[in-house]
């Protein structure tokens, strides 16, 4: 409650001709007037014109402004540095702060509130034709090796194509083929099903559906067929389980060389002994 509301006017009955009833009415009127005055909004504190001008200029500007540019818009005789310092102090506790960037000034969101305005953007990238073809081969022919993918496509598969599909999480290394070189076999996983809205991999379109959708030409070679895909996690008879380090793909740092912690004297004696032999 303001001081005006607390301060009540009391009318004293010094005049003998004034009745007690009139005194009570006067006191009630004084209290009512005081309360009405207390409910009136306080007049806003006046701010210096140069602060209001600076505030308007900086808010309207699309980029930070230097002091020379601001000074040209202010009345003569204004201390621009002092005005900016006062304006900065006014905004120091608000959601927007006045900050100096290099030699220019601008309004920025307060540092402790910046997390509220953080926007996470998901960037959508279109797969290359090679990646789409590789993904289709893995989906229909899994488990399949890189060499088998290249044989089906008829062209060499770029090193980054499988890396892109592995990064999306749509394919995964399954095991190693029991063949010379023991190449890694690949298959799809649940992320692939989720992205393409499939309940299971067998829901992929068959030969007739692909022809009906116009994805296959009508004059296909005789004997051409689309395999029945299966993403069974169990390894096939021609697959071995992955070993530790198979999923590294060369991204882990090389192991540190073992340090010879033997004392210098012991190392010297060891060298002399080897020389005698």
pLDDT digits (tens, 9 = 90+) for 33-52: 554 555 555 555 677 888 99
Look at residue 94 in the predicted model and tell me its pLDDT.
Answer: 92
Low-confidence ranges of the chain (pLDDT < 70): 1-45, 218, 247-277
Laid out side by side, the sheet with 96-101 consists of 65-66, 104-109, 96-101
Look at residue 103 in the predicted model and tell me its pLDDT.
Answer: 82
Look at residue 254 in the predicted model and tell me its pLDDT.
Answer: 44
CA distance 14 to 16: 6
Residue 101 in contact with residue 142, Cβ under 8 Å?
Answer: no
Q: How many CB atoms lie within 10 A of CB 229?
A: 19
Reference 131, options 160, 154, 104; nearest CA is 160
Burial class (CB in 10 A: 0-12, 13-18, 19+), 139: buried
């Amino acid at each position: 409650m303001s001081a005006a509301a607390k301060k009540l006017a009391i009318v004293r009955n010094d005049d003998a001709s004034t009745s007690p009833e009139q005194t009570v009415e006067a006191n009630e009127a004084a209290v009512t007037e005081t309360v009405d005055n207390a409910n009136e909004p306080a007049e806003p504190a006046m701010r210096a014109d140069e602060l209001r001008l600076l505030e308007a200029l900086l808010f309207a500007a699309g980029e930070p402004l230097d002091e020379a540019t601001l000074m040209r818009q202010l009345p003569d005789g204004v201390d621009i540095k002092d005005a900016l310092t006062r304006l900065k102090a006014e905004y120091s506790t608000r959601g927007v702060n006045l900050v100096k960037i290099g030699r220019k000034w601008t309004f920025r969101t307060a540092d402790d509130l910046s997390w509220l305005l953080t926007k996470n953007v998901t960037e959508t990238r279109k797969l290359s034709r090679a990646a789409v073809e590789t993904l289709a081969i893995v989906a229909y022919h899994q488990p399949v090796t890189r060499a088998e993918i290249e044989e089906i496509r008829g062209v060499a598969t770029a090193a980054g194509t499988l890396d892109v599909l592995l990064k999306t999480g749509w394919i995964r290394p399954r095991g190693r083929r029991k063949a010379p070189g023991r190449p890694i076999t690949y298959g799809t996983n649940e992320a692939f099903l989720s992205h393409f809205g499939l309940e299971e991999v067998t829901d992929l379109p068959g030969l007739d559906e692909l022809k009906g959708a116009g994805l296959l030409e009508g004059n296909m070679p005789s004997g051409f067929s689309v395999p029945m895909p299966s993403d069974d996690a169990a390894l096939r008879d021609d697959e071995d389980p992955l070993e530790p380090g198979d999923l590294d793909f060369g991204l882990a740092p090389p192991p540190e060389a073992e340090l010879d912690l033997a004392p210098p004297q012991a190392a010297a004696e060891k060298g002399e002994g080897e020389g005698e032999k």
